Structure 1
Amino acid sequence: MPQQYKPLHNEEDVENGAADATPTGDNRQQQQQQEAANPPAVQLLMVSLFLLLFFGSSFFQPRPRLQHLSGGGSKYDQSKYDCKIQLVESIPIGLNYSDGSPRFLSTFEAWQQLLDSAKESLDIASFYWTLRAQDTPGVNDTSTQQGEEIFKRFLNNRNGGSNTPRLNIRIAQSEPSSVSPNEDTKLLASNGAAEVVSVSFPKYFGGGVLHTKLWIVDEQHFYLGSANMDWRALTQVKEMGILAQNCPQLTKDVAKIFKEYWYLGKSTDAKIPNWNWDYSTNYNLRSPMILNVNSNTTMEGFLSSSPPPLSANGRTNDLEAILSTIDSAITYVNIAVMDYYPLIIYGQHPKYWPYIDDALRRAAVERGVAVKLLISWWKHSNPSENKYLKSLLDLNSKRDKIDIQIRRFIVPTDASQEKIPFGRVNHNKYMVTDRVAYIGTSNWSGDYFTDTAGIGLVLRETHETEQTKTLRSDLRNVFERDWNSPYAHDLE
């Protein structure tokens, strides 16, 4: 049975130490006689009480921010780390925005930059690989060229050379299936271009997949987002992610999550281990890393993961990261995801899973937060999803000051593009509020948080900034661009 989410205690919920009792006046003379008769016992009792009060009071306090595991900083680490982070996205061919609309580095360009900058190592966590368009033999489309070019660069790694040194490429992928045989990675492994391991989530959880999309280069740079290792993710599917460059502290932290995938891919054991300190982190929801982002914004950041058994000591669960982001919103929550269900949908019978849905309802009803959901609609969408979206939308009321709006994003498709399987969809997985930017790799149904691997990046602005352009504002502008585009349609 998939593991269910159990909300954690609030940060302020700490245990209280027991108070010591004082003898009354009626008993004081008798006690003094006993103390005189047995002074060593009294001294031992007094020492024990002192130790309990001294150490007990400190034990029950909230844990301070600890020193980073890799060294540096003080015990209460307030170091600020430089990090260049930018949004990257894939805009499908034929999806055209008006002049002046926000535009960012493409996923293809971001991956090219990572390959260009790699000197020693490249680690990739992926769901599946179809960069060569081998799964679409009947489709003759020039939009496959970018994927083919990326794959060629991977395959050429078997040779190396003076200008292109051979990299240590490691790929942790979800276990291949008849639907996703991963012929690309078989070819890379057989030619010595990369070392590949497959992670069987059914072995550990009874279901689920490795759904993470992650690149890590030289422990300095990384990509995290919605784009699979698929040619369609570059030209036929709308994707959103981030490219972090010259960001070693955050990169080393996300590398610990990849290290878990690599361990599971190598392991013959059928159970998740108790992750030791090599996998743990000091940076989380209650103790974030302080980042100087793009030299203009101070942000608190941390990486979250799912499912809970893959969250090593100190790691915030991805669901908790999402819930805390919603709960901390003051004026608005904007969400763009492919699927939204308050259910566990994969299995013999659906199961109710209300955590995110409840958080959105609380935000709108109790705090007056304006909620906007931009959910994808394509030929693989399940119409039953509308029932749950409609129940949220029904709360919208000007009289009650409840503001919930929902739209469907539809990527336009012509007759030729219609022949491309599993293309033409808004595949984004992000959320932005008045202070926080969240970018993840999971769709929003329960399965992705109970038995499927994913990662989220949470970046919170620590104070109001005079800068008109920040990473968070960029993400807000993307949402507003899409929300107000002709491709967004009211749920009705």
Structure 2
Amino acid sequence: MVMTWAAHAGAAAPASNFQIVESVPEATIYGEPGVPRTQDVWLDMIKHAQRSIDIAAFYIADQPGEPLSPVLDALVARAKAGVKIRVLVDQTFLKDNQDSVNRFRSVKGMDVRVLPVDTLTGGVLHAKYMVIDGESVFVGSQNWDWRALSQIHEIGARVTNDRFAQTFEAAFDFDWQLAGDPNLPKAAEKAMSPPSFAPATATDPVLLDGGSTDPLVAFPAFSPPSLMPHWVSAEQPALVHMIDASQHTLSIQVMTLSAIRQYGPKGWWPEIDTALRDAAARGVQVRIIVADWALREPMQAYLKSLAVLPNITVKFSQLPLSSRGFIPYARVEHAKYAVADDRSVYIGTGNWEWSYFNNTVDASVFVQGSGPAKTLTHIFDRDWNGPYVTTLDPGKNYPPARNH
């Protein structure tokens, strides 16, 4: 796939913007100055919605008194004010968020559908994004979970641009219709239909206002190819291209990373693995942070196979316990992003394993520009040089972390 980032650099930038958003676990060193927090951004986007809110959510996990409750209340309030709200959730995890789903279904103006990804492809709806009025998008690692707002380290992005948002809207519409009629051959035929607008893609990206920096070039990408319109950009080749284009440094933070396929057909997933090893072989300094949840086998053995290579350093992160004690499925590095050199950024919703790109619904944003790269590098370096990480020693064995 050929990307034409530079070809668009001379065009006039429309009135639009890009914003990195961070979730900061309580009582940690995290929190980049000037970077907004997830709850604030979600509330701002929801409260300013005038016509529509579309949400793709892996699941919804609310708890009274926790920071997701005001967000869900704001959604209900906007529905009662006449804003049309559609919420798409995953079938496999429906039992874990039935209360919130039932609440939404009881509100006039809120429509909920369940996407049976497991039946269709063997995966799940793992994406986490929101589209407001067909004009702005939030996409990132943050689940609609109270823990994702106060107990987990997360990275997302807010993008305000009509073409970008319409492209996300089209991907959402495709899955929304599939949730109503889970006929994959019929959907695949429809996926070939040309769009009614100029979508934002790897070969035709959008320009965003970089604020104090140069204009940014951006496009969204989606997974898996079988559950998205034919004309949107796929995540895996876009990510491989970004890694292949790196020249000096490549910084990656992701919860789990492995080329050994644990979900779906067993075997080896070479695309991202080859790109990483090739980057290191040509002298790119590759830094990788994974969560301690990645220490289970055979993933630990795979990560060691990277760590033995020249120019690759792997660290794993262990966040301190909350003052409340152990919280299931929390206190973890859940972010999924990468920075190449000082110019290219990827922020996604999926972990770096075969299933997240090939049978599971995920989404991301790719951005070229010095501003986002600088901000994400600062966030990465705070973790890389901080007290929670341990350099993975290929000669040691590490116990897998408890997560529930």
> Shared fold by TM > 0.5?
yes
Q: Deviations over 1:105-134 (max 9, x none)?
A: 11011111112211121110111111236x
Amino acid in the other structure paired with 2:299: E
Separation (CA, whole Å) in 2 of partners of 1:117 and 1:156: 12
Distance 1:281 1:443, change over 3 A: farther
Contact kept, 8 Å, 1:209 with 1:453, in 2: the verdict is: yes
Distance 1:327 1:279, change over 3 A: farther
Contact kept, 8 Å, 1:176 with 1:198, in 2: the verdict is: no
Could you tell me which residue of structure 1 aligns to residue 336 of structure 2?
429
Separation (CA, whole Å) in 2 of partners of 1:323 and 1:254: 21
Separation (CA, whole Å) in 2 of partners of 1:407 and 1:103: 26
Separation (CA, whole Å) in 2 of partners of 1:476 and 1:262: 36
Structure 2 residue matching 1:171: 3-state secondary structure: strand
Separation (CA, whole Å) in 1 of partners of 2:177 and 2:118: 16
Partner of residue 241 from structure 1, selected from 156, 168, 174: 156
Given the alignment of the two structures, is residue 126 of structure 1 paired with residue 43 of structure 2, yes or no?
A: no
Query: Size of the alignment, in residue pairs?
Result: 386
Amino acid in the other structure paired with 2:240: L
Distance 1:187 1:478, change over 3 A: same
Contact kept, 8 Å, 1:91 with 1:235, in 2: the verdict is: yes
Could you tell me which residue of structure 2 aligns to residue 413 of structure 1?
321
Contact kept, 8 Å, 2:18 with 2:209, in 1: the verdict is: no
Could you tell me which residue of structure 2 aligns to residue 109 of structure 1?
40
Structure 2 residue matching 1:356: 3-state secondary structure: helix
- Using structure 2 for the length normalisation, give the TM-score: 0.89
Given the alignment of the two structures, is residue 474 of structure 1 paired with residue 375 of structure 2, yes or no?
A: yes
Given the alignment of the two structures, is residue 83 of structure 1 paired with residue 4 of structure 2, yes or no?
A: no
Given the alignment of the two structures, is residue 320 of structure 1 paired with residue 237 of structure 2, yes or no?
A: yes
Separation (CA, whole Å) in 2 of partners of 1:267 and 1:249: 27
Q: Deviations over 1:256-293 (max 9, x none)?
A: 11111211111142434221123885432233223333
Could you tell me which residue of structure 2 aligns to residue 169 of structure 1?
85
The share of aligned pairs that are identical, in percent, is 28
Given the alignment of the two structures, is residue 151 of structure 1 paired with residue 151 of structure 2, yes or no?
A: no
Separation (CA, whole Å) in 2 of partners of 1:198 and 1:377: 31
Separation (CA, whole Å) in 1 of partners of 2:226 and 2:169: 17
Q: Deviations over 1:75-112 (max 9, x none)?
A: xx9553332111111111121259xx545111011111
Separation (CA, whole Å) in 2 of partners of 1:313 and 1:97: 39
Separation (CA, whole Å) in 1 of partners of 2:94 and 2:74: 26
Contact kept, 8 Å, 1:259 with 1:279, in 2: the verdict is: no
Distance 1:450 1:279, change over 3 A: farther
Deviation of 1:313 after TM superposition, in Å, equals 3.2
Larger mean CA deviation between 350-359 and 275-284 belongs to 275-284
Distance 1:170 1:179, change over 3 A: closer
Structure whose alpha-carbon radius of gyration is higher? 1
Structure 1 residue runs of 5 or longer lacking an equivalent are: 1-9, 13-61, 67-76, 134-143, 397-402
Q: Deviations over 1:13-42 (max 9, x none)?
A: xxxxxxxxxxxxxxxxxxxxxxxxxxxxxx
Could you tell me which residue of structure 2 aligns to residue 459 of structure 1?
367
Amino acid in the other structure paired with 1:362: D
